[in-house]
Amino acid sequence: MTEDLVAALAAIGIMVLPLAEVVLRRFFNTGVPGAAPFTSHLTLVVGLIGASIAAREGKLLALATGTMVPEGRPRHLAGILAAFVAALVTTILALGGVRLLQVHYAAGKEIALGVPTWAADLTFPIAFGLIALRLVWKSSPSMIGRALAALGIVAGAWMSTHPELLLDQSGWPWIAILVGAAILGMPIYALIGGAAVILFLVQGDSPANAIIGSYDQLTSTDLPAIPLFTLAGFLLAEGRASDRLLRLFRAFFGWAPGGTAVVTTILCAFFTLLTGGSGVTILALGGLLMPALIADGYSERFSLGLLTAAGSLGLLFPPSLPLILYGIVAEVPIGDLFIGGFLPGTLMLGALAALGVREGLVNGSARRPFTLHEAIGATWSAKWELLLPVVIVVSLLAGATTVQSAALAALFTLVVQRFIHRDLATFGDLRRAMSRSIALVGGILVILAVAVGLTTYLIDAQVPARLAEWAKENIHSKWVFLLGLNAFLIVVGGMMDIFSAIIVVVPLIVPIAMHFQVHPIHLGIIFIANSELGYLTPPVGENLFVASYRFNKPILELARAMLPMYVILLIGVLLITYLPWLTTGLLK
């Protein structure tokens, strides 16, 4: 399909351009003219076309609550209603994209080498237009249902061309409608993007203001690292890397009490640090690790809880995507976040592994004797996977930027999986893996894009400044602030996905944290550590949702199974918050 091809070519561009730039610059002093701006704009294309592919595949992220609507007529009606509101919002976003295109066209803005910026801007109306049409099409099996949902497109176009309709009205009824539609299953991007455009409209501003924020976000310098690392993680997950790594970790840790549980936590952390905790870990490893745990004598309940909770580990280790995004949004060095996150990440990993050891001891779970032969064999078999973190760290230390290092990681994984292991036996396999990866990236990036629109509004309304003023007047202790922050972030983590939480919430808390002299890197690590819990907190806690889908268990059962892990991770989060040296120690 054309859009898959366009997105795949753009993804290859993101991979090749930064590497070509660094090689040609270092060895021939030529570089690739405009490599960075072209890479940024190709990321915009990958993100938005990826979102439209996600819409086609029905993979746009939505609240778990949509699946709780009773099947039959209620769910049918809920689907139509949610699609109506989503189509309305998406049409406003598409027309906002047209306005952005006009602005860049009038200014004669270029990406580089005479290529006009409006060429990339075209992706906004095309992708959002396709998404709106697909949401309408998928809303109902009947043409009447689809026609009703399609009225959302008409309403969106009407509101865009008659902005005075909403001027000076209260935004709250609209926000209530958006939240209601999201509960019924409307994609999260439409909830956040809808809030942004409605709030701009009621204060008399064009929704294009939100899209300008989206454009800035999607073309920001370090953002290409997110699709690149996701692609690397996804290509690993698609192949048999998980088998090889399981064998490796078992060879080294299988002798210990709770060995398989420990291996599970390490393996999950390893996958999550590459995939950003986007649910890929549970999807990729669940099928492999669940039977392994059960076979080694762990109870089903413990195994479910461990796999659900361990899916969020790894967010504090490099090159975790949330750490990268935090660095971009809070404007702090990403390298410092990587270093600062190491001890806290190890603490969280150790805490969960300790729980596994305890379970192993109590249940007398199976253990495997350590043999040098198997250790060497397993290491040799997993040598390429083990080289991946080495490639990333060495390239960063040699002076590569985050994006260049991510590009190298993606290319390395692609070559290993396609040509060395041949896990992706044909180019067809590779193409399908890339398409799925791009849909996943698109699902995330479209949320990031619209979340910036909402942040732009909040800044316009001076919300961060007012919040900071309020905190200065009413909170008098750094420790009270941190406790409040913990509670706030856990609630936020339970209601928003991690990426939009970073974009919307970080600008709100940074000024307050500065007032209380919280170290900026410590704040970042507190934020991400709390988000690890957020992944497990109902109702949106993504791991609950994904694990429920993967293991075919009700969310409530998973939540119960995961409770001991939740408590131990909560203790970890509190330690990370109140012992700043855990973060800042290595930085010094």
Partner 1 sequence: MLATIRYQLAIALTIAASVSVGAQAPVNIRLATLAPDNSPWTSALRSMGTSWEKATDRRVRLTVYAGTIPSESSAIARMAVDGLQAATLMVAGLAEIDEAFNVFGIPFFFESDAELAYVEQKLTPLIQERLRAKHYHLVNWGNAGWIQLFSKKPIRTLEDVKQAKLYTTEGNPKMVQWYTANGFHAVPLSAGEIPKQLTLPTGAINAAPMPPVYAVALQIFKDAPNMLDVRVAPLVGATVMTDAAWNKISPEDRAKLAAAAMAMEQQINALAPELDAKSVAAMKTAGLQIVTLDTKAVAEFRAAAEGLGASQRGAMIPADAFDLAVRERGAFRKANPAK
> Nearest-5° angle of CA 574, CA 579, CA 585?
135
Residues 6+ apart with CB under 8 A from 79: 139, 140, 145, 184, 185
Q: Is the separation of the CB atoms in 178 and 113 below 8 Å?
A: no
Smaller CB separation from partner 1, 350 or 511: 511
Which of 16, 68, 69, 112 forms a contact with partner 1 (CB under 8 A)?
Answer: 112
Stretch that binds partner 1, among 42-50, 96-104, 238-246, 375-383 (CB under 8 A): 96-104
Residues 6+ positions from 364 with CB-CB distance below 8 Å = 297
Q: What share of the chain is helix, strand, coil (3-state, %, to 5)?
A: 80, 0, 20
Beta carbon nearer to partner 1, 130 or 208: 208
Among 13, 152, 156, 213, binds partner 1 (CB under 8 A): 213
Nearer to partner 1, 243 or 460 (CB): 460
470 contacts: CB under 8 Å, gap ≥ 6: none
| Nearest Cα residue to 39 out of 410, 492, 477 | 410
Helical H segments across 364-497, by residue range: 372-381, 383-397, 402-415, 427-460, 463-474, 478-495
| 229 vs 270, beta carbon nearer partner 1 | 229
Told to check if 291 binds partner 1 by CB under 8 A, we report no
Pick from 5, 9, 30, 478 the residue near partner 1 by CB under 8 A: 30
Tokens of 376: 């060497």
Provide, rounded to whole angstroms, the least separation between the CB of residue 63 and partner 1: 28
Q: How far is the CB of 576 from partner 1 (least distance, A)?
A: 25
Of positions 41, 56, 99, 522, contacts partner 1 by CB under 8 A: 99
Q: Does 206 interact with partner 1 (rule: CB under 8 A)?
A: yes
Q: Which of the residues 32 through 51 are near partner 1 (CB under 8 A)?
A: 33-37
Q: What is the 3-state secondary structure (H, E, C) of 18-70?
A: HHHHHHHHHHHCCCCCCHHHHHHHHHHHHHHHHHHHHHHCCCCCECHHHHHCC
- Please give the structure tokens belonging to residue 34: 């405009």
The Cα–Cα gap between 419 and 426 comes to 9
Residues 93 and 250: their CA atoms lie apart, in Å, by 49
* Tokens at 577, concatenated: 């918050």
How many residues bind partner 1, per CB under 8 A? 47
SS3 553: coil
Residue 407 interacts with partner 1 (CB under 8 A): yes or no = no
User: Rounded to the nearest whole angstrom, what is the least distance from the CB of residue 33 to partner 1 in the complex?
Assistant: 6
Q: How near is the Cβ of 452 to partner 1 at its closest, in Å?
A: 8
Place of tokens 């064999």: 377
Which helix (DSSP H) or strand (DSSP E) does residue 192 occupy?
helix 188-202
Query: Which one of 252-260, 329-337, 340-348, 384-392 is the stretch in contact with partner 1 (CB under 8 A)?
Result: 329-337
142 lies in the binding site for partner 1 (CB under 8 A):
no
Is 197 a binder of partner 1 (CB under 8 A)?
no
Check binding of 243 to partner 1 (CB under 8 A).
Answer: no
- Please give the residues from 375 up to 394 whose contact with partner 1 meets the rule CB under 8 A: none
Q: Does 220 bind partner 1 (CB under 8 A)?
A: yes
What letter would DSSP give residue 416? I
Q: Does 217 sit near partner 1 (CB under 8 A)?
A: yes
Tell the smallest beta-carbon distance from residue 418 to partner 1 (Å). Answer: 29
Which tokens in the block code for residue 238? 């698609």
Q: Cβ 420 to partner 1, closest distance in Å?
A: 27
Footprint of partner 1 on residues 151-180 (CB under 8 A)? 164
Q: Is 209 a binder of partner 1 (CB under 8 A)? A: yes
| Closest to 495 (Cα-Cα) out of 67, 182, 68, 58 | 182
Q: Which residues of 249-273 are buried (b: 16+ CB within 10 A; e: fewer)?
A: bbbbbbebbbbbbbbbbbbbbbbbb
**Residue choice 11, 22, 42, 83 for contact with partner 1 (CB under 8 A):** 22
Where along the sequence are the contacts to partner 1 (CB under 8 A)?
Answer: 22, 25-26, 29-31, 33-37, 99-100, 103-104, 106-107, 109, 112-113, 164, 200, 205-206, 208-209, 212-213, 215-217, 220-222, 331, 333-335, 397-399, 401, 459-460, 462, 464, 507
